[in-house]
Amino acid sequence: MNFESSRETALKKLGDFINSNLKDYNFKRNFDLGTKNKSNVSCLSPYISHRLITEYEVAKIVLSKFSYQNVDKFIQEIFWRVYWKGWLELRPQVWSDFIEDLKSIKEDDKYLKAVNGETEIQCFNDWVKELKENNYLHNHTRMWFASIWIFTLKLPWQKGAEFFMKHLYDGDAASNTLSWRWVAGLQTKGKHYVAQAWNISKFTNNKYNNVKLNENALPLSDKREYKLKPLNLMYNDETNESLLVFENELSLENQKLKNYKNVYLALLSNEARKLKLEQKVLDFKSNVINDQKKRLKQVQIVDENKLQSLMEKINSYSIDYARTLATWRENFLGVWEKISPLGFDDYFKRMWEFYLSYCEGGFKSKNIDLIQFSMSNK
């Protein structure tokens, strides 16, 4: 399989898929016809997951050629990723717990047999090999794989999700973690996905028949509850000079880049990652990021060390403080009618108005700042 890492390739793949196979997607998409034939699905996920092309772009191009009724399934699948992203963004603890859980799970013999493709289940072993070689698996195969991992091999779902993340070019914190949780019955509580031999046989065109599986497994359970956590959106106004972009949001075509003095693309090594990736996956990320840089000249690539020193410079409170001062001034003037009868004159009013405006201007222009530092005795 060819996953050349550029936006141009992504757009070409989309164009070819629209011209040749999209019309049959609704009824052919669930078949995994083997490593050499994936033409019934788009294979766009490595690009969409890095947002080298966005969901909205894909939907717009598709809907300019087809009516929604004829491509509804494809459009719905595209927006599954958006849904998962939003879901996790509102419950970030799910990801933190997943990373924390991994620290205490041992890699025993049963686990090693599975990741080396040495189980009793031939189709599973073939998919392990395919994943390592091609860094991609068909959606239905991912569902069978996760189900066999959890319910037949009885391995912890977290290690399966980690194994996928390590090897998939499209490895995505939201789509991957939440899909594994969904198969296990944790995402929609009590509703799990149990792979059935007849289903594997039908949708692999009889390549794998009579696979011995645990078809009557019960869903997993977990006491942890995840409540909605409001988004802490950063106020993005014109005073921001720098834009920092991470690998899962490379849709720079859609940003107003000329508003920024500096645009940084973070290219992180395994040292800076909580979940370590295979070299091929790191190379894929490096190539897509370099492709963006080639096309958008004002962009700079930064590694984790440069990023750290940039953050120290950027991490200033001045803009927030300017906003606080503006609010204080507005509040002060808003209740002046109540203050003046207490014996305060116009001189007092003007002095405070001047002081609060002067400080606001100072913070805005960054002539004054608020910095926190700690000192230690060595």
Q: Does 171 bind ligand FAD (CB under 6 A)?
A: yes
- Of residues 95 and 332, the one with the C-beta less far from ligand FAD: 95
User: Read out DSSP for 159-223?
Assistant: HHHHHHHHH-TT--HHHHHHHHHHHHTTTTTT------HHHHHHHTTTSS-S----TTPPPP---
Does residue 243 contact residue 130 with C-beta atoms inside 8 Å? no
For 183, residues 6+ apart whose C-beta sits below 8 A from its C-beta are 143, 146, 147, 150, 157, 192, 193
CA 144 to chain centre: 23
Sketch the per residue contact string, 54 through 83, with ligand FAD: x for CB under 6 A, - otherwise.
-----------------------xx-xx--
Task: Mark residues 345-364: x for contact with ligand FAD by CB under 6 A, - for none.
Answer: --------------------
Nearer to ligand FAD, 80 or 352 (CB): 80
CB of 275 to ligand FAD, least distance (A): 12
Encoded one letter per residue, x for contact with ligand FAD by CB under 6 A and - for no contact, window 179-198 reads: xx--x---------------
Grouping H, G, I as helix, E, B as strand and the rest as coil, residue 262 is strand
Radius of gyration over every alpha carbon of the chain, rounded to an integer in angstroms? 26
139 binds ligand FAD (CB under 6 A): yes
CB of 250 to ligand FAD, least distance (A): 14
Region binding ligand FAD by CB under 6 A among candidate stretches 106-114, 174-182, 251-259, 359-367: 174-182
| Beta-sheet strand order (sheet of 242-245) | 242-245, 262-266, 299-302
Residue 28 parent element (H or E): helix 25-28
Q: Nearer Cβ to ligand FAD, position 52 or 146?
A: 146
- If DSSP states are collapsed to H, E and C, what string results for 149-166? HHHHCCCCHHHHHHHHHH
Per CB under 6 A, the segment of 166-174, 270-278, 315-323, 359-367 that binds ligand FAD is 166-174
Q: Does 288 bind ligand FAD (CB under 6 A)?
A: no
- Taking the C-alpha atoms of residue 295 and residue 297, their distance in angstroms, rounded to an integer, is 6
Contact with ligand FAD (CB under 6 A) among 32, 57, 130, 170: 170
Asked if 163 interacts with ligand FAD (CB under 6 A), we say no
Are residues 326 and 361 in contact, defined by beta-carbon separation less than 8 angstroms? no
**Using rule CB under 6 A, residue 164 touches ligand FAD:** yes
Q: How far is the CB of 138 from ligand FAD (least distance, A)?
A: 6
Q: Which residues contact 6 (CB under 8 A, 6 or more apart)?
A: 52, 287, 288, 291
Q: Cα(201)–Cα(206) distance, rounded to whole angstroms? A: 5
Q: Which is nearer to ligand FAD, 81 or 329 (CB)?
A: 81
**Stretch 10-49: interaction string toward ligand FAD, x if CB under 6 A:** -------------------x-----------xxxxx--xx
For 181, residues 6+ apart whose C-beta sits below 8 A from its C-beta are 94, 157, 187
User: Among 134, 152, 175, 251, which residue sits at the site for ligand FAD (rule: CB under 6 A)?
Assistant: 175
Instruction: Please pick, from the candidates 62, 143, 153, 325, the single residue that binds ligand FAD as defined by CB under 6 A.
Output: 143
Q: Which stretch binds ligand FAD (CB under 6 A): 167-175, 210-218, 280-288, 292-300?
A: 167-175
Residue numbers 80-109 binding ligand FAD by CB under 6 A: 80-81, 84
The CA angle 123-124-125, to the nearest 5 degrees, is 90
* Nearest residue (CB) to ligand FAD, 160 versus 318: 160
Which residues fall within 8 angstroms of residue 227, CB to CB, at 6 or more apart? 91
Total residues at interface with ligand FAD (CB under 6 A): 28
Q: CB of 25: closest distance to ligand FAD in angstroms?
A: 7
d(CA 137, CA 3): 13
Residue ranges that bind ligand FAD, judged by CB under 6 A: 29, 41-45, 48-49, 77-78, 80-81, 84, 138-139, 142-143, 146, 164, 168, 170-172, 175-176, 179-180, 183
